[in-house]
Amino acid sequence: MLLNRYITTVFSPLFMRRFYHDLYRGLLAILILLPLTANATQIDTSSNSPVTPQVRVGLHGMLLFGSEYGLFASHLPMFHTPHNAQVVLQLSFDDPQINTAVINGLTLSAASGYPIWTIVPQQFDLSMLSPAHPNHINHLSVDIVKGHFERGGETQWKNQGLTVARVLVFNELDTQFELQKANNNTYLKVNNTPDDKVQFLVKRLTTRPDADHIVRLDNVGNNLPAEIVIPIDAAKLFNDEAQLRAALPDTAPKNTSLTTSSTKLKTTSPMTTVSRVYIELDELK
């Protein structure tokens, strides 16, 4: 009798509703606590976990520069996401005729004193150009612009494929303002080979504010060091071309003698010249 009454009470509709209600609440509490537990575990072991690359998806315009010795591009950086990275690439365009035309155009522009060309890739994650990125890429589709693409430049070719041969610089930028600056600027050598007669110097960006400064070296007659470190002018963020010219090693003209059967000729090697390719201050305040 008592057993029957107990069974009837336990399996009554009211009891079953309460049972399932309590069971639901218990399962819900467990599900809420699970992510918190997982996060706590991740925090405790973060030092042993790989760092997820910063996502920098956007329209990443780049300065295009180079000569018959090779083509290069430098991302136009800013001290805010998604543009907070200094990236310098060596590249070639997939179409050989376009590649030659771009080299010729850059040569003529450099001679005219207005050497700015830019490329505009389709939107992509800039971080994926880093060789350390797990999904590293080495191919882009770009528009090629004579002039600055945001300042009246004229598009010469659209949707041209390019292949990245080398990533020369991938320097992440700290977005904080007025961090301690060093007493020197560092200019990085950019070339295809050490024997190139035309090479470039790119200023390494450090802390905000800064200057995006690129110069061209013509008549390079010696192997330059990979970096040129020069004291910073307290009143400026960059060293001008005259200061860089003075800082180059072994830049004095070299006298060479050429002996023939009838005479002895004395020739002077041309001096290395330094000319500005690009300077930007406002975008790096």
pLDDT of residue 159: 98
Under-50 pLDDT residues of the chain: 1-11, 13-15, 17, 19-21, 23-51, 251-253, 256-257, 259-260
pLDDT of residue 21: 46
pLDDT of residue 180: 82
Q: Please give the Cα distance from 183 to 232 (Å, whole number).
A: 6
Question: Are 253 and 271 a contacting pair, CB within 8 Å?
Answer: yes
pLDDT of residue 262: 55
Neighbours of 205 (CB within 10 A): 23
pLDDT of residue 234: 73
Question: Are 134 and 143 a contacting pair, CB within 8 Å?
Answer: no
pLDDT of residue 110: 94
Q: Please give the Cα distance from 234 to 146 (Å, whole number).
A: 34
Please choose, from the candidates 215, 226, 229, 244, the residue with its C-alpha nearest in 3D space to the C-alpha of residue 186. 229
pLDDT of residue 104: 98
Question: Are 38 and 46 a contacting pair, CB within 8 Å?
Answer: no
